[in-house]
Amino acid sequence: MPKPLEQLHESDIERKCCIGKVLTNSLKHLTQRFMDCDFEWLLPVVFSKSTDPLWPDPGASIEKRIELEIYGETVRTTSSMIVHKMVACSLAHPRLFILSPNIRIERRERARTGRHVYEFTQLDFEVRDATSKEIRRLVETVLSGLIGNLKRELREELTYLGRYHSLRVPKMPFREYPRRELEKKYGTGWERRLVSEIRDPVWVTDIPREFYDFEDFETGVWDNYDLFLPQYGEVLSGARREWEHDKIIRKMERDNGIKKENYALLLKLAKERRMKPSAGAGIGIERLVGWIAGVQHLGETQLFPKVPGVVYDL
């Protein structure tokens, strides 16, 4: 289990500093690539009336949703900036990204999965009128470029972390697996099997989840995608989005437990036809860096670890 900074020995701190270098270089590379592709860089929000419901989502396991009152209004801490991204992309910036802190109070049983922390950062981005395929190609280019760059610039650190030789630049395009095929082959436990068998990042498409991902009501196919890393699992999820009012309403009503009043502005904009088609994704930074650095627990990528069920001083 990751320890807080003040309890680390010298060699642990040295390792932490190598991981820190991987983090800094990754953020530098990723943000630069997005800016090179004409994306605007937005600052994150922390409190608002609308945040990601994280429901229904096969991967979600939230112990507590944080709601509090400010100025006589109920607000929630950001679980993802999906609603803000869709609105910003429709009304202002056709290409945008954010380094967004997400708070997801995961069940404490997830302390030892090594793959969950209750505060993390997403590089979240959205592109007006984009197709899913365009987003996937963009991600592949950016990630392959990142690995190549880190192997050139951080040879010493990656060697210290034991990752220089095992980390390879993934070949493009990455393989794509429709979720239904994986279910046929491996059953409901497909995620674990897939992650243990792959040697390079792969896409999984058509995953039933939250109302904002596009679903073809005729075929029942979802136009969305997750990126899975060998051993580490899901590092990104994204989709083409819903933008039509009636469809969003239908999905919210179907999703038992979604409070429409929490999405009043999104629904109003959709009703007024001000929401536009877009597609995007969010990259989990700690998961990406954790895979690159080869950590046992994602808390190792954080100087102040946020392990489910554990609250340290800082």
Tell me whether residue 211 or residue 291 sits nearer to ligand ASN (CB atom).
211
Please, are residues 309 and 111 in contact by the beta-carbon 8 Å criterion? Answer: yes
Question: Which one, of 66, 135, 140, lies nearest residue 97 by Cα?
Answer: 135
Phi and psi torsions of 293, nearest 5°: -85, -15
- Residues that bind ligand ASN (rule: CB under 6 A) add up to a total of 11
Residue 5 in 3-state DSSP? Answer: helix
The residues near 175 (Cβ < 8 Å, ≥ 6 apart) are 198, 200, 202, 203
Ranges within 97-126 binding ligand ASN (CB under 6 A): 122, 124
CB of 196 to ligand ASN, least distance (A): 24
Half-sphere exposure of 189 (CA within 13 A, CB side): 4
Which of these ranges, 87-95, 104-112, 236-244, 252-260, lies near ligand ASN under the rule CB under 6 A?
Answer: 236-244
Q: Which is nearer to ligand ASN, 121 or 122 (CB)?
A: 122
Q: Output the smallest distance, CB 75 to ligand ASN, in A.
A: 19
Question: Considering the complex, what minimum distance in angstroms separates the CB of residue 55 from ligand ASN?
Answer: 10
CB closer to ligand ASN out of 82 and 154: 82
Q: Which is nearer to ligand ASN, 54 or 161 (CB)?
A: 54
φ and ψ at residue 304, rounded to 5 degrees:
-120, 85
Nearest distance in Å: CB 175, ligand ASN: 21
Residue of the chain from 96, 130, 204, 239 that contacts ligand ASN (CB under 6 A): 239
Q: How far is CA 275 from the centre of its chain?
A: 22
Cα separation, 101 vs 45, whole angstroms? 8
Residue with tokens 């994150």: 44
Quick one: tokens of 208? Answer: 């039933």
Residue 303 φ then ψ, to 5°: -70, -35
Minimum gap (Å) between residue 50 Cβ and ligand ASN:
13
Binding residue for ligand ASN, selected from 83, 89, 281, 285, defined by CB under 6 A? 281
- Interface mask (CB under 6 A) for ligand ASN, residues 36-65, using x and -? ----------------x-------------
- Residue of 256, 255, 257, 275 lying closest to 265 (CA atoms): 275
Segment contacting ligand ASN (CB under 6 A): 141-149, 227-235, 274-282, 293-301? 274-282
Binding-site member from 2, 233, 238, 290 for ligand ASN (CB under 6 A): 238
